[in-house]
C-alpha cells in the first residue's frame, strides 16, 4: 500500500509546472526610502521635501501606468500593455517588472525577455517572479538547467509565503530531482507549509509521507491529512483513506 500511494502522490508532475497568472493579482506600490548619512536631515529641509514630492509623483505615475497596462493586458492589447508596463517598470514598479515577464512568457514561452524581467522583479523581492525564475532554471528556459539556482529562488519565494514554491520544494526533495539528494524531512517541512495554506495536493502528499515511513509509519497523521485533502476536493485522498489499515476510531 505504502509504495503505491507514494508513487501516485509525488508522481503528480503537473504541479511542478504551475505559473501564477495575472488576473486577481494584488497591485503593489513600490515605496523607497532610507537615507544614509552622518548628519540627520529633517523632512522639512529645503530640497528634501521637493525630492520626496518628486519620488511620490513618479511612484504614483508608475502605478497608474501599471493599472492601465493591466486593463490593456486583460483586453489582449499586448502592445499597449507592454508600452505602459515598460514605463512603469523603468520608474521602479516591481509589479510591472513581473507582469512584463508574464507578458513576454505568454507571447513567447521561455523567452529571454521574460527571463530578464522575472529576474529583475525577483531581485526586488517579488515572490511570483522568484517562483517563475526557478521554473526557468529547472527547465532550462533561457538559461542552462541549474537545480541549485532553482532551489535558491524557490526557497526565497517559499519563505515569503509562495505556496506553489513550497509545494515544488517538497516535490524536489521527495523525488531527489536534478541531482538533489532526496530528503524526506525537508519534503515534509515544505509540504507542511503549503498544506497549512490550504494546498490540497500538498496535504495529500504529506499524508503519503506519514503513511510510507520505512520504520514507523504514522497512519493517524496520514489519515488526518488525507481527510483534510479530501475535504478540499482532492479525489485521490478518498482512495488513500480507504486503503489505510485499521479503523479511524483508533486515532481519536
Q: Tell me what pLDDT residue 202 has.
A: 96
Cα end-to-end distance, the chain, whole Å: 23
pLDDT at 245 over 80: yes
pLDDT at 25 over 70: no
DSSP type of residue 181: P
Cβ 209 vs Cβ 173: under 8 Å = no
Half-sphere exposure of 147 (CA within 13 A, CB side): 11
Cα gap 25→192, rounded to integer Å: 24
Q: SS3 of 180, please?
A: coil
Give the pTM. 0.76
Which region among 5-14, 100-109, 139-148 has the lowest average model confidence (pLDDT)?
5-14
Cα gap 81→60, rounded to integer Å: 17
CATH superfamily assigned to domain 2-10+61-251: Tetratricopeptide repeat domain (1.25.40.10)
List, in order, residues 6 or more apart from 232 with CB less than 8 Å away.
198, 200, 203
Rounded to an integer, the average pLDDT of 202-227 is 92
Of 233, 225, 215, residue with least CA distance to 251: 225
Helices (H), ranges, the chain:
2-10, 48-74, 78-90, 94-107, 112-123, 127-139, 147-159, 163-175, 184-196, 200-211, 219-231, 235-243
Rounded to an integer, the average pLDDT of 204-226 is 91
Residue 121 grid cell? 522583479
Q: What is the pLDDT of residues 229-243, one digit of tens each?
A: 999 999 999 999 999
Q: Tell me what pLDDT residue 65 has.
A: 82
Q: What is the pLDDT of residues 64-73, one digit of tens each?
A: 888 888 898 8
Q: What angle in degrees, to the nearest 10, is found between the helix axes of 147-159 and 163-175?
A: 140
Average pLDDT across the chain, whole number: 78
Rounded to an integer, the average pLDDT of 169-192 is 93
Pick the residue with more confidence: 48 or 61? Answer: 61
DSSP type of residue 16: G
Rounded to an integer, the average pLDDT of 89-97 is 91
Cα gap 223→139, rounded to integer Å: 34
Q: How confident is the model at residue 13 (pLDDT cuts 50, 70, 90)?
A: very low
DSSP type of residue 150: H
Q: How confident is the model at residue 206 (pLDDT cuts 50, 70, 90)?
A: very high
Q: How confident is the model at residue 61 (pLDDT cuts 50, 70, 90)?
A: low
Domain boundaries, the chain: 2-10+61-251
Cβ 100 vs Cβ 86: under 8 Å = yes
Cβ 163 vs Cβ 145: under 8 Å = no
Amino acid at each position: 500500500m505504502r509504495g503505491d500511494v507514494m508513487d501516485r502522490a509525488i508522481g503528480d508532475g503537473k504541479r511542478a509546472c504551475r505559473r501564477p497568472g495575472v488576473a486577481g493579482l494584488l497591485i503593489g506600490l513600490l515605496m523607497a526610502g532610507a537615507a544614509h548619512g552622518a548628519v540627520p536631515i529633517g523632512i522639512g529641509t529645503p530640497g528634501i521635501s521637493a525630492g520626496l514630492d518628486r519620488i511620490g509623483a513618479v511612484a504614483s505615475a508608475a502605478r497608474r501606468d501599471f493599472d492601465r497596462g493591466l486593463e490593456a493586458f486583460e483586453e489582449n492589447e499586448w502592445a499597449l500593455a507592454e508600452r505602459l508596463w515598460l514605463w512603469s517598470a523603468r520608474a521602479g514598479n516591481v509589479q510591472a517588472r513581473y507582469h512584463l515577464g508574464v507578458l513576454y512568457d505568454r507571447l513567447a514561452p521561455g523567452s529571454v525577455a521574460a527571463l530578464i524581467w522575472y529576474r529583475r522583479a525577483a531581485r526586488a523581492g517579488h515572490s511570483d517572479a522568484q517562483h517563475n525564475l526557478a521554473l526557468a532554471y529547472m527547465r532550462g528556459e533561457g538559461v542552462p538547467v541549474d537545480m541549485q539556482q532553482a532551489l535558491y529562488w524557490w526557497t526565497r519565494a517559499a519563505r515569503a509565503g509562495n505556496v506553489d514554491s513550497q509545494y515544488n520544494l517538497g516535490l524536489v526533495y521527495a523525488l531527489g530531482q536534478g541531482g538533489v539528494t532526496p530528503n524526506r524531512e525537508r519534503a515534509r517541512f515544505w509540504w507542511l507549509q503549503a498544506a497549512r495554506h490550504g494546498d490540497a495536493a500538498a496535504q495529500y502528499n504529506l499524508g503519503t509521507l506519514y503513511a510510507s515511513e520505512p520504520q514507523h509509519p504514522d497512519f493517524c497523521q496520514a489519515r488526518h491529512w488525507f481527510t483534510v485533502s479530501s475535504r478540499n476536493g482532492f479525489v485521490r485522498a478518498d482512495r488513500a483513506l480507504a486503503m489505510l489499515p485499521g479503523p479511524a476510531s483508533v486515532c481519536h
